[in-house]
Structure 1
Amino acid sequence: MEIYQLRTFLTVARQGHLTRAAEQLHISQSAVSKQIKALEEELGVILFARGASGTSLTRSGQLLLAQAEKTLDSALELVNMANKIRGEITGTVKLGTIIDPECLRLGAVLGRLLARHPQIDVKLAQGISGSVLERIRAGTVDAGFYLGALDDASVQATELCVLTYLVVAPKEWEERVSGAGWDRIARLPWIGTPVHSSQHRLVSEMFAEQGYELSSVIEVDQEASMRSLVAMGVGLCLLREDIAHEAVRNGQMVVWTGAKRGCPLSFIHLKSRAGDALVGALRQAVLEVWLP
Structure 2
Amino acid sequence: MDIQQLKVFVTVAKYGSITRASDILCRSQPSVSAQIKGLETTLGIALFERTSRGMIVTQEGERLLDEAISLVDRHKQFMQEASRLKGSVSGVFMLGAGRHSGNGFVSAFLHLVSERFPELEIELKHLGSAQVIEGLRDNSLDMGFFTETESDTSDLTLVEVASFGIYLAAPPGIIRTSDPLDWQQLADQIWIVSSHDGCCGRWANALMEQHDICPKRVIKVDDEAVTRTLVASGAGIGLVHVNADDNLPPPKDIDLLHRVRKTARIMCGYLEARSDDPSIRAVDELVLDLLKSDASGATPSMLQLA
Structure 1 residue ranges without an equivalent (≥5)? none
TM-score (norm 2): 0.77
CA contact (8 A) 2:177 2:255 kept: no
State the AA in 2 paired with 1:268. G
CA contact (8 A) 2:200 2:224 kept: no
Q: How many correspondences in the alignment?
A: 291
Q: For the residues of structure 2 that align with 1:58 and 1:181, how far apart are their CA atoms?
A: 61
CA contact (8 A) 1:165 1:262 kept: yes
Equivalent runs, 1:163-174 vs 2, <5 Å? 163-174=164-175
SS of 2:27's partner is coil
Q: CA deviation at 1:145?
A: 0.6
2:271 is aligned to 270
SS of 1:5's partner is helix
Q: For the residues of structure 2 that align with 1:177 and 1:33, how far apart are their CA atoms?
A: 64
Q: CA deviation at 1:3?
A: 3.6
Q: CA deviation at 1:265?
A: 1.1
- In the TM superposition, what whole-angstrom CA distance separates every residue of 1:44-72 from its partner, at most 9, and x where no partner exists? 33233222232332222333333222222
Q: For the residues of structure 2 that align with 1:154 and 1:215, how far apart are their CA atoms?
A: 41
- In the TM superposition, what whole-angstrom CA distance separates every residue of 1:88-114 from its partner, at most 9, and x where no partner exists? 322232322334686442343234334
Q: CA deviation at 1:289?
A: 1.3
TM-score (norm 1): 0.80
1:7 correspondence with 2:11: no
Q: For the residues of structure 1 that align with 2:91 and 2:69, how far apart are their CA atoms?
A: 21
- In the TM superposition, what whole-angstrom CA distance separates every residue of 1:93-136 from its partner, at most 9, and x where no partner exists? 23223346864423432343344333333333334324434444
1:70 is aligned to 70
2:192 is aligned to 191
SS of 1:180's partner is coil
Q: CA deviation at 1:286?
A: 1.0
State the AA in 2 paired with 1:22. S
The more displaced of 273-282 and 96-105 is 96-105
SS of 2:175's partner is helix
SS of 1:151's partner is coil
1:124 correspondence with 2:124: yes
| Cα 1:34/1:88, change in 2 over 3 Å | same
Structure 2 residue ranges without an equivalent (≥5)? 294-306
Equivalent runs, 1:201-216 vs 2, <5 Å? 201-210=202-211
| Cα 1:47/1:242, change in 2 over 3 Å | same
Identity %: 27
SS of 1:61's partner is helix
CA contact (8 A) 1:10 1:138 kept: no
| Cα 1:33/1:130, change in 2 over 3 Å | farther
SS of 1:123's partner is strand
- In the TM superposition, what whole-angstrom CA distance separates every residue of 1:216-262 from its partner, at most 9, and x where no partner exists? 7333233432222112322222211139x999643x32111253353
